[in-house]
Amino acid sequence: MNQNSLSPELLQKAVHSLPEDNLSNMRLEAADRFSNMGFPVKGSEDWKYTDLSQIADLTSQWLNGSMQENAVDRENHNTKIVKSVTDSIDAHWIVVRDGVIDSDITEPHGTTIKKISAVNKKIVTGNDAMSVFNAALLRDGIHITAATPLKKPIGILYIDGPSSVITQNRAIIEIEEECQLQLVECCLSAGIGKQFTNTVTDFLIAAEASVNYVRIQDRDFEHTSVNRVNALLEKNTIFNHNGFDLGGALTRNDIVTEIAGKDALVNLNGLYLASAEQHIDNHTNIIHTVGPSTSTEEYRGILSGDSQCVFNGRVFVAEGADGTDSNQYNHNLLLSERAEIDTKPELEIYADDVKCAHGATVGQLDESALFYLRSRGLNLEESQRVLTHAFASGTLSKLAVGACYDYLTDLLDNRLELLVGAAG
């Protein structure tokens, strides 16, 4: 057992406290597995810069029953949060509060939305420690089957805290042949205080289908979250992913896409904005098992204060995956001398006929551009604001779901205002 292990007895006790249903056996098996794994340890290959020891301590306290709920007027606060999102983004919304799915789910025509516990299918718990931990303490999750394209996107709103300090969320999304799905996921906090959310999302994309997926994370600055997305693509499929990380104390994202069919396309785009002592870690893994296929990836970061961000992007091209075309880039803008970015784009290629490129940039605001803007009558802060907005717009221009553009633009404007103000 590693230093980030939990008491097996406490974990089993927590598992047995959950409702007995079709997920019970999965939880017990996952709890046994996690007891042998423990939380990832900082310094290991995939967790070189990110430390989850505080989460291990927080979880132990929670399992012991020594954690108090974070104080907030739950009903009024949750209602305000829900309205702020659902009134701004026109979508078919599913609301999940502290891992509990709201009962009033409406199913659009051609789409099935069920609780995972009500679907008679074996759940793949995963092999990484955080996915196994998620399966062990999962109360329930969302299972979506999309068979017909919808005019509006489906929206999942995760509101975590204060009634649970530790929350597990899971969604399984199956897109049938020739279907197009738009999905917006918003991750927010209810209440102020230490919280931890662990989310797993699985996409199974059948032949000729496409997914446009936007994930927006704007949690409280004491909130820690680990998020994993798995996408399996069959032939002639498209997976567009846009990730926006604005809040949170510590955020870790793992995006794993496997291209299992010819002529599939993966586009991963991300923007992370960090200030104060925020820590945001993005790990991506694009696996080309067959060719020809294409992947493009661009992550951008703006860092201020004493923040630390990590980008580790891996592209794996298997033997025989000839015709693979892959491009991967990471661009970072540092507004503070104390901010730190650790960037590591990786290519692992075992095929001959491929076109692959990667690169990373780290820099500060362009002095000549600042001078030009100031010569046109803008003050320093206004000039910085113009340049940071221009940098961020490189990701916003690739937004895959137009319904959330206005909502996201307002969030980014407010957040960039804070970053520039802190830099000044």
A 10 A CB-CB count for 80 gives 11
Give me the pLDDT at residue 4, please. Answer: 66
Lowest-pLDDT range, 149-163, 198-212, 228-242? 149-163
Whose CA is closest to 282, among 208, 222, 335, 360?
Answer: 360
Q: What angle do CA 182, 82, 77 make, to 5 degrees?
A: 155
Whose CA is closest to 48, among 308, 299, 234?
Answer: 308
- Greatest pairwise CA separation for the chain in angstroms: 68
Beta strand 92-97 with 100-101 is antiparallel
Lowest-pLDDT range, 103-112, 124-133, 232-241? 103-112
Residue 34 pLDDT grade (very low, low, confident, very high; cuts 50, 70, 90): very high
Give me the pLDDT at residue 115, please. Answer: 94
Residue 61 pLDDT grade (very low, low, confident, very high; cuts 50, 70, 90): confident
Segment 200-207 shows an average pLDDT of 98
Segment 364-377 shows an average pLDDT of 92
Give me the pLDDT at residue 159, please. Answer: 93
Residue 291 has pLDDT above 90, yes or no: yes
Give me the pLDDT at residue 2, please. Answer: 55
Residue 68 has pLDDT above 70, yes or no: no
Residues 6+ apart with CB under 8 A from 257: 230, 231, 232, 233, 239, 241, 266, 268, 284, 285, 286, 287, 295
Whose CA is closest to 252, among 56, 34, 57, 47?
Answer: 47
Element housing 216 (H / E): strand 210-217
Structure tokens at 13: 């006790």
Give me the pLDDT at residue 386, please. Answer: 93
Segment 352-373 shows an average pLDDT of 93
Segment 339-356 shows an average pLDDT of 95
Give me the pLDDT at residue 77, please. Answer: 53
Structure tokens at 127: 């092999």
Q: What is the pTM of this model?
A: 0.95
Lowest-pLDDT range, 119-133, 269-283, 322-336? 119-133
For residue 299, the one-letter residue type is: Y
Residue 33 has pLDDT above 80, yes or no: yes
- In DSSP terms, 333 is beta-bridged to 302, 363
Instruction: Give, to the nearest 10 degrees, the angle between helix 129-137 and helix 8-16.
Output: 40
DSSP annotation of 61: H
Which residue has better confidence, 155 or 124? 155
Residue 407 has pLDDT above 70, yes or no: yes
Residue 253 has pLDDT above 50, yes or no: yes
- Residues 138 and 136: their CA atoms lie apart, in Å, by 6
Residues 6+ apart with CB under 8 A from 225: 187, 196, 197, 198, 199, 217, 219, 248, 250, 251, 252
- Residues 94 and 88: their CA atoms lie apart, in Å, by 15
Tens digits of residue pLDDT in 3-18: 667 888 989 999 999 9
Give me the pLDDT at residue 161, please. Answer: 75
Residue 122 has pLDDT above 60, yes or no: yes
Whose CA is closest to 324, among 342, 350, 306?
Answer: 350
Q: Collapse the DSSP code of 319 into the 3-class scheme (helix H, G, I; strand E, B; otherwise coil) and give the result.
A: coil
Residue 424 pLDDT grade (very low, low, confident, very high; cuts 50, 70, 90): low
Q: What is the DSSP string of 354-412?
A: EEEEEEEEEE---HHHHHHHHHTT--HHHHHHHHHHHHHHHHHTT-S-GGGHHHHHHHH
Segment 65-91 shows an average pLDDT of 72
Q: Taking all residues of the chain, what is their mean pLDDT, rounded to a whole number?
A: 92
Tens digits of residue pLDDT in 180-197: 999 999 999 987 788 999
Residue 73 pLDDT grade (very low, low, confident, very high; cuts 50, 70, 90): very low
Give me the pLDDT at residue 62, please. Answer: 84
Give rounded-to-5 percent helix, strand, coil for the chain: 25, 40, 35
Give me the pLDDT at residue 421, please. Answer: 78
For residue 189, the one-letter residue type is: S
Residue 216 has pLDDT above 50, yes or no: yes
Give me the pLDDT at residue 361, please. Answer: 96
Segment 64-68 shows an average pLDDT of 61
Give me the pLDDT at residue 72, please. Answer: 46
Residues 6+ apart with CB under 8 A from 80: none
Give me the pLDDT at residue 311, please. Answer: 98
Segment 15-44 shows an average pLDDT of 93
- Residues 201 and 208: their CA atoms lie apart, in Å, by 21
Residue 121 has pLDDT above 80, yes or no: no
Tens digits of residue pLDDT in 227-242: 999 999 999 999 999 9
